[in-house]
Amino acid sequence: MATTARHFNELLDSALERLSRRERGWEDRPGQREMARLWSETLESGGTFAVEAPTGIGKSLAYLLPALIRRVRGSGPVVVSTCTKALQEQLFRHDVPIACRAIGSPLRVVTLKGRQNYLCRRRAEARLNQVKLFASWGVDPSVADEVRSWAERTSTGELEELAALGLPPAFLAEIASDPLLCSASACEAATGCFAKRARREALRADVVLVNHALLLSDPGLRATLLAEAGALVLDEAHHVERIAREQLGVTLGYHDLLRLAGRTDARTGVLRIVKRSLKRGRGEAIASRIRAAEGSIGPVIANAKALASDLERCLPEGASSAR
Give the pLDDT confidence of 10-69 residue by residue, as tens digits.
888 888 888 878 777 777 788 888 999 999 889 988 889 999 988 888 899 999 999 999
Let me know whether 12 and 103 are in one domain.
Answer: yes
In a domain, 9, yes or no: yes
Mean pLDDT over the full length of the chain: 82
In a domain, 187, yes or no: yes
Let me know whether 145 and 183 are in one domain.
Answer: yes
Let me know whether 131 and 278 are in one domain.
Answer: no
Point out which residues pair with 207 in neighbouring strands: 78, 109
Strand-strand pairing, 231-234 and 78-82: parallel
Let me know whether 100 and 163 are in one domain.
Answer: no
Let me know whether 143 and 281 are in one domain.
Answer: no
In a domain, 78, yes or no: yes
Let me know whether 138 and 224 are in one domain.
Answer: no
Let me know whether 9 and 100 are in one domain.
Answer: yes
In a domain, 49, yes or no: yes
Nearest Cα neighbor of 188 from 139, 138, 140, 118 is 118
In a domain, 204, yes or no: no
Let me know whether 138 and 14 are in one domain.
Answer: no
Alpha-carbon torsion angle 69, 72, 74, 76, nearest 10: 80
Let me know whether 58 and 14 are in one domain.
Answer: yes
**Directed axis angle between helix 184-191 and helix 194-204, to 10°?**
80
Let me know whether 11 and 96 are in one domain.
Answer: yes
Let me know whether 75 and 59 are in one domain.
Answer: yes
Domain range for 178 is: 115-195
**Separation CA 245–CA 313 (nearest Å):** 23
Res. 160 pLDDT band, cuts 50 70 90 = very high
Let me know whether 101 and 230 are in one domain.
Answer: yes
Give the pLDDT confidence of 73-85 residue by residue, as tens digits.
899 999 999 999 8
Quote the strand ranges of the chain, DSSP E.
78-82, 109-111, 207-211, 231-234, 252-253, 321-322
Number of domains composing the chain: 3
In a domain, 205, yes or no: no
In a domain, 214, yes or no: no
